[in-house]
Chain A
């Protein structure tokens, strides 16, 4: 297990280097001189521009700049925001909890709804419940979440007044954002679980167990679910990145000061260090989470860590 874990971790290193290189390139590829952008409207003298370029390290060669950049990254220094002049790392730290809270809540919604409907549908394929679940999940996958969010606000906050329209302040505030972001994901889990269960139930060993009179609940928990859960775990790992991405629109609609909203406003304000910082941060988290998922898999399923390819 340790060897497997080490191997997975080592593989992540060149990935991280590649990611940092790509993020570094953002700055190089953006048209216009950052120093000019920063000084716009201040009627800068050429001296001021040169001085600022020096401060920003823009007067050095590209490889030298990357080297500086990489060194700062290793120290956890993501640079300073053009807008607020404060460290991007602290800006991210201030917003991260909101995004994490939203992602976890959405994940909760997805798991609860996805498991309940997925199990019901998978146990009785072809039943009314299954048909409803199938139609709803197919629709759930198709409705754009940013539209769904607005509709939910209009119905539950503005018309009915049951829930707050803003996604912050008070324990019920998270409900609508979490639903908006979590429903599509719930549909994925439903579909996944349903097909896994249907398949598992066809396996000979389960037919035997069933024939021997094993209780359906025991059958479900001990055998069927156990097998199906693996693929759900994998998808959750992959979905974490998408929860972050989905948070972009959701945070704006619900006025949550999370990373997504910060990214969009940074793009609008051409706050390049902030853009780089958020993008890099999310990518690293994403790689990290998937590493954890891989390791969890290794623990759950010996075939994985031994590298059996069936």
Chain B
């Protein structure tokens, strides 16, 4: 799992910042595509598409990459064992036509599609699956993200050509969802062998587009794979409609906007919300997909005064007008978040909190935090002041500024400072802050184990310092529950507990928002990355 990826969606500075490639991967997504389905207009010849990409790829090897942007490209080149789509919790067959999970949750028996060939002609089979998973855990691969999605991998056993058994050291039901992650896309074992350490520049998959060229810092080009006939029905199952896609690297949102305006790119995903609105007003379309994982928000430190007081944490949640923040900053393009998980994540339960500053005031009064003559609250001489530490350049600055103004209205003072990544992680672990920036993309709620487990307080991502041994055990148990419905119920129970603890201030559920000009049929996968298989221009 640990598909933690801090990604600037709303870039305020023109130059910025995707931060530590050391962090793992990808924006994720359930997704509810508003773009039209894979209808398409026959996919005539000569159709080319240029897509703006906000990061230079670190490696095109899905097993190695740690960058969000690469999953867009890799989704075109590679197939995954299973597929998941926008706003749809169903699992669709991919390179695996079916699978069984052992009762103890440690072994997956995969039945593989036959007749599939990699773009270099190598046949896809159980040996290829083994080669791929072994490649991910090979230290030489330096996997940044796939290794987390794979989980506690032990080995792959080749039963026969079309049957592989993937064995884990511990129960790993998260893998059932993670199989659809692009980072677990299947590479040609021949190419892995042939290119070795340079494979990241020569990716070969079974997907709808064949890698053509990577010009460092400039662009990646892929062309249609004419043999492609094994895609999921939802993507049109046959070869792609487009002849070629150029992923043009443009880190600056203003550059993306300008290029879209001049039609130098037709798809851009990093415009400011205002530019999105303007572009739509001028006739462009958007294709969006809600991400699964944890919303953008603030982890509230339950260990440090004054937020060690449950009443204060609940009051903060009540006093924040998410809708106003989203209207001001995002032109209403994002939906308010209402839980520790986004609405499209399995296990989601709404926290039932609605904006109510009066109630927040009453709660604080009852808890002994009374207003002084200046309208700010204190208790026994201690002022009600929160330390908010932003991560430099992560796009939280404006949200924090608005948050500060809103909390001031109910008498809570907020001091905002910021610190760069990764140094800020240490600060967060030490617990200097009351409020820490947070978001997390993942396809499986087992994510919660990374964020709220006791063993993550010291050096992990548990920046709320929430430690509940009982809950830890429940999360581990949920991840060992083979039955999907039961598992989802178990997670709902966990999420309810976490919501009641008020250890997180959710602000909004993120979405991938692609602005498109004259393009239709884009669909979205589990990590919010677009599938261009059925796209037409």
Residues of A within 8 A of B (CB): 31-32, 36-43, 82-85, 91, 94-95, 98, 150, 153-154, 157-158, 161, 164-166, 168-169, 249, 252-255, 257-258, 261-262, 264-265, 268-271
Contact = CB atoms under 8 A, between A and B. Distances in A.
Given A42-B144, A268-B16, 8 more contacts: A40-B22, A41-B4, A158-B258, A165-B261, A166-B262, A253-B254, A261-B217, A270-B422
B216 A252 contact: no
A252 B58 contact: no
B20 A270 contact: yes
A41 B24 contact: yes
B252 interface: yes
B18 A268 contact: yes
A37 B423 CA distance: 9
A39 to B, nearest CB: 8
A166 B218 contact: no
A255 B249 contact: yes
B66 to A, nearest CB: 8
A153 B217 CA distance: 21
Given A83-B21, A84-B58, A252-B15, A95 B217 contact: yes
Interface residues of B, number: 43
A41 B23 contact: yes
A169 B24 CA distance: 32
B258 A166 contact: yes
Contact of B255 (A39, A43, A94, A255): A255
Contact of A262 (B17, B58, B217, B261): B217
29 contacts: A32-B422, A40-B20, A40-B22, A41-B2, A41-B4, A41-B22, A157-B262, A161-B262, A165-B255, A165-B261, A166-B255, A166-B258, A166-B259, A166-B264, A252-B252, A253-B14, A253-B252, A253-B255, A257-B56, A257-B216, A257-B218, A261-B251, A265-B56, A268-B15, A268-B18, A269-B20, A270-B20, A270-B422, A271-B21
Given A253-B14, A269-B19, A40 B262 contact: no
Given A85-B142, A94-B217, A253-B252, A158 B262 contact: yes
Interface in B171-204: 197, 200
Interface string B436-471: 000000000000000000000001100000000000
Contacts of A32: 422-423
Given A37-B422, A91-B216, A255-B249, A153 B258 contact: yes
B247 to A, nearest CB: 12
Nearest to A165: B258
A165 B52 CA distance: 13
A279 B111 CA distance: 53
B58 A83 contact: yes
B393 interface: yes
Nearest to A48: B139
Contact of A164 (B58, B217, B264): B264
A257 B216 CA distance: 8
A64 B169 CA distance: 43
Contacts of A254: 255
A94 B255 CA distance: 21
A22 B28 CA distance: 42
Nearest to B217: A257
Contact of B23 (A40, A153, A164, A258): A40
Query: What 5 A-B pairs are tightest by C-beta distance, nearest first?
Result: A257-B217, A165-B258, A94-B216, A255-B250, A257-B218
B200 A84 contact: yes
Given A85-B142, A166-B250, A37 B56 contact: no
A54 to B, nearest CB: 14
A153 B200 CA distance: 35
